[in-house]
């Protein structure tokens, strides 16, 4: 495959790769058969959408894509026990993980139960004091005061803590990779159990919880009763799906799309308050969920009060929601400061160790456990390698890892734990957590590097920049961006389309803040387009484009809409450039 526009090494060192001949032909066929815009056809062709499927893909219906909940093992059993607790007014507890997926999952159950005039105890463990997932003490205490405990976004590997919940039934609704044996409890519903087909492995925990509520409502309907409105809950499912970086394919895409419509109605006090403190001034999209709302919900679990995010998402009191949203916004600012310091130290250490190994890792004394996962993401993005970042405290280190496409980190971490090189560890393909003894750190990371190398980690250079099509500034209209958005939402597993603008003349360039760059460029024929490049001066892009000296550049990035004063304009989110 030849380099797109002849760019073999851009200003950021990346090779530009365009659509294959097959995808180009498929896009041409789509355009002939559907009369859709060429740029949209290029996006659909990359997603493998045929002319016959195009209309359904652009308007996905949840009813057509939602799987039968009973296709998951233990689902019918879990919903039946859940409804028994509701019908007999038993005491319920929800044990939720401290991230967005856990908080959303907990809020789904609390909200559904509130509609049934039943209160549930919401318990979220402290990241530092208790760590991830159920623990013996908390489960034993909950079991003393409750008849049913539902573990959401956790519990699949928690054999001991679940056994400690004496006197109470336990249901697990999770999506993390299961072990060879399951904990001894009433039901474990998890698309990533070892005995599942894997067809629904891409679901986050909130989607699993939503499917259980679908099954519960179905059982109620069969018994002649009416369950709570489930469509109202889809904003929580959408938030969790995007924030947990679940791939936006199949039913996930439909869940997020419908959830964004629900969110736009501004009915949920917690999400309204969070949107307002994040200064969201347009209809929500997947970017807002992943980069504005998600990090704020997560901030409580990372460096503050662990249950704050879950409580915010489940409250029906607008005043309470505003107070919690403001606190989470403050915590998120503190989190960014802590993350910045850890990131600088981790990158320096990783560079000394070498960035071309199959695994990039760093460990530091007292690094806050709440930010190691984010820093691992930054290392992964910078190196195109799986990354692990560990905070050391006493004899142990607690860490978090992020992986690249095609490399299953969760399975390798689980193998390490089974071999005794980790105290504990688990996760899924793209993300994992671990606890390691300080004196085992080097040998554990060496073994993990070997396991990841066997999966192909370390063989790639800087990630190629994949481009969908060429575009001229005059063609980048509001209508085109709106058309392309119909192929969304975009995110993990469904990247937003990137376009290349060839031979661009930079007409204006201005530094914004410490490291961003704003430019206006044209094609020499009168049409112009504005672009913003975030973090430009942390890379070679900023200096080269700011002092362009009238030289022409090929520019690449994603199109987005800006709303200001009731008017919409198109802007390029600039990601890369190369001398023309």
The CATH number that applies at residue 117 is 3.90.1640.30
Among 329, 346, 373, the domain boundary falls at: 329
Residues 471 and 562 in one domain: yes
Determine the Cα–Cα distance for residues 543 and 499; give it in Å rounded to an integer: 22
Determine the Cα–Cα distance for residues 363 and 296; give it in Å rounded to an integer: 25
What lies within 8 Å, CB to CB, of 274 at 6+ separation is: 293, 296, 297, 312, 321, 325, 328
pLDDT in tens, 388-423: 999 999 999 999 999 998 899 999 999 999 999 999
Residues 175 and 251 in one domain: yes
Determine the Cα–Cα distance for residues 61 and 58; give it in Å rounded to an integer: 10
Signed CA dihedral, 292, 109, 123, 326: sign only: positive
**Model pLDDT, residue 462:** 65
Residues 159 and 171 in one domain: yes
Domain-embedded: residue 422: yes
Residues 166 and 277 in one domain: yes
Residues 167 and 286 in one domain: yes
Would you tell me how many other CB atoms lie within 10 Å of the CB of residue 360?
Answer: 29
**Model pLDDT, residue 169:** 98
Residues 511 and 533 in one domain: yes
Intervals of the chain under pLDDT 50: none
Residues 197 and 318 in one domain: yes
**Model pLDDT, residue 555:** 98
Give the position of tokens 């001398």: 579
Overall domain count for the chain = 4
Domain-embedded: residue 118: yes
Determine the Cα–Cα distance for residues 472 and 444; give it in Å rounded to an integer: 51
Determine the Cα–Cα distance for residues 20 and 356; give it in Å rounded to an integer: 28
Domain-embedded: residue 300: yes
- 3-class SS string, 235-269: HHHHHHHHHCCCCCCHHHHHHHHHHHHHHHCCCCH
Residues 407 and 520 in one domain: no
Domain-embedded: residue 438: yes
Domain-embedded: residue 569: yes
pLDDT in tens, 110-163: 999 999 999 999 999 998 889 889 999 999 999 999 999 999 999 999 999 999
Residues 154 and 261 in one domain: yes
Domain-embedded: residue 198: yes
Structural Rg of the chain based on CA atoms: 24
Domain-embedded: residue 363: yes
Domain-embedded: residue 334: no
**Model pLDDT, residue 461:** 63
CATH of the domain at 359: 3.10.310.30
Residues 272 and 385 in one domain: no
Question: Which domain range does residue 29 map to?
Answer: 19-57
pTM comes to 0.89
Residues 99 and 187 in one domain: yes
Residues 322 and 405 in one domain: no
Per DSSP, helices labelled H in 18-135 are: 21-34, 38-46, 54-58, 62-65, 75-87, 100-115
């Amino acid at each position: 495959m030849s380099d797109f526009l002849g760019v073999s090494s851009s200003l950021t060192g990346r090779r530009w790769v365009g659509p294959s001949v097959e995808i180009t032909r498929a896009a041409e066929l789509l355009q002939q058969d559907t009369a859709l815009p060429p740029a949209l056809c290029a996006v659909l062709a990359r997603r493998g959408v045929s002319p016959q499927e195009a209309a359904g893909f652009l308007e996905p219906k949840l009813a057509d894509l939602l799987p039968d909940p009973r296709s998951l093992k233990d689902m019918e059993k879990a919903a039946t026990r859940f409804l028994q607790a509701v019908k007999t007014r038993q005491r319920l507890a929800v044990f939720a993980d401290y991230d967005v997926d856990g908080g959303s999952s907990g809020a789904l159950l609390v909200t559904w139960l509130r509609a049934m005039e039943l209160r549930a105890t919401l318990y979220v463990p402290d990241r530092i004091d208790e760590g991830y997932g159920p623990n013996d003490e908390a489960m034993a205490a909950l079991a003393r005061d409750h008849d049913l405990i539902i573990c959401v976004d956790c519990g699949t590997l928690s054999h001991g803590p679940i056994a400690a919940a004496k006197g109470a039934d336990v249901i697990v609704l999770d999506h993390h990779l299961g072990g060879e044996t399951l904990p001894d409890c009433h039901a474990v519903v998890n698309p990533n159990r070892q005995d599942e087909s894997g067809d629904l492995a891409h679901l986050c925990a909130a989607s699993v919880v939503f499917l259980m509520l679908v099954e519960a409502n179905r059982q109620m309907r069969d018994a002649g009763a009416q369950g709570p409105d489930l469509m109202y809950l889809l904003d929580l499912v959408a938030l969790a799906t995007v924030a947990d970086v679940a791939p936006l394919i199949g039913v996930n895409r439909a869940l997020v799309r419908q959830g964004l419509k629900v969110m736009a109605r501004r009915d949920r006090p917690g999400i309204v308050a969070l949107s307002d403190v994040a200064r969201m001034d347009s209809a929500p999209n997947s970017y807002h969920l992943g980069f504005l709302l998600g990090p704020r919900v997560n901030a409580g679990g990372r460096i503050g009060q662990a249950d704050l995010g879950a409580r915010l998402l489940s409250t029906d009191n607008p005043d309470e929601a505003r107070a919690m949203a403001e606190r989470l916004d403050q915590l998120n600012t503190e989190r960014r400061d802590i993350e910045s310091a850890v990131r600088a130290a981790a990158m320096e250490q990783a560079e000394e160790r070498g960035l071309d190994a199959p695994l990039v890792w760093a460990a530091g004394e007292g690094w806050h456990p709440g930010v190691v996962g984010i820093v691992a993401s930054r290392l992964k993005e910078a190196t195109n390698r799986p990354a692990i970042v560990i905070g050391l405290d006493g004899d142990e280190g607690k860490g978090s890892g992020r992986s690249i496409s095609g490399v299953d980190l969760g399975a390798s971490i689980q193998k390490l734990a089974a071999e005794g090189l980790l105290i504990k560890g688990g996760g899924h393909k793209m993300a994992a957590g671990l606890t390691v003894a300080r004196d085992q750190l080097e040998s554990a990371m060496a073994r993990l590097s070997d396991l990841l190398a066997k999966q192909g980690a370390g063989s790639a250079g800087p990630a190629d920049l994949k481009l969908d099509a060429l575009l001229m500034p005059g063609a980048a209209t509001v209508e085109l961006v709106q058309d392309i958005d119909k192929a969304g939402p975009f995110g993990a597993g469904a990247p937003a389309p990137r376009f290349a603008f060839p031979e661009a003349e930079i007409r204006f360039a201005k530094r914004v803040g410490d490291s961003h760059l704003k430019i206006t460029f044209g094609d020499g024929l009168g049409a112009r387009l504005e672009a913003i490049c975030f973090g430009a001066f942390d890379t070679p892009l900023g200096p080269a484009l700011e002092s362009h000296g009238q030289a022409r550049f090929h520019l690449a990035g994603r199109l987005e809409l800006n709303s200001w004063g009731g008017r919409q304009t198109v802007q390029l989110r600039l990601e890369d450039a190369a001398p023309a």
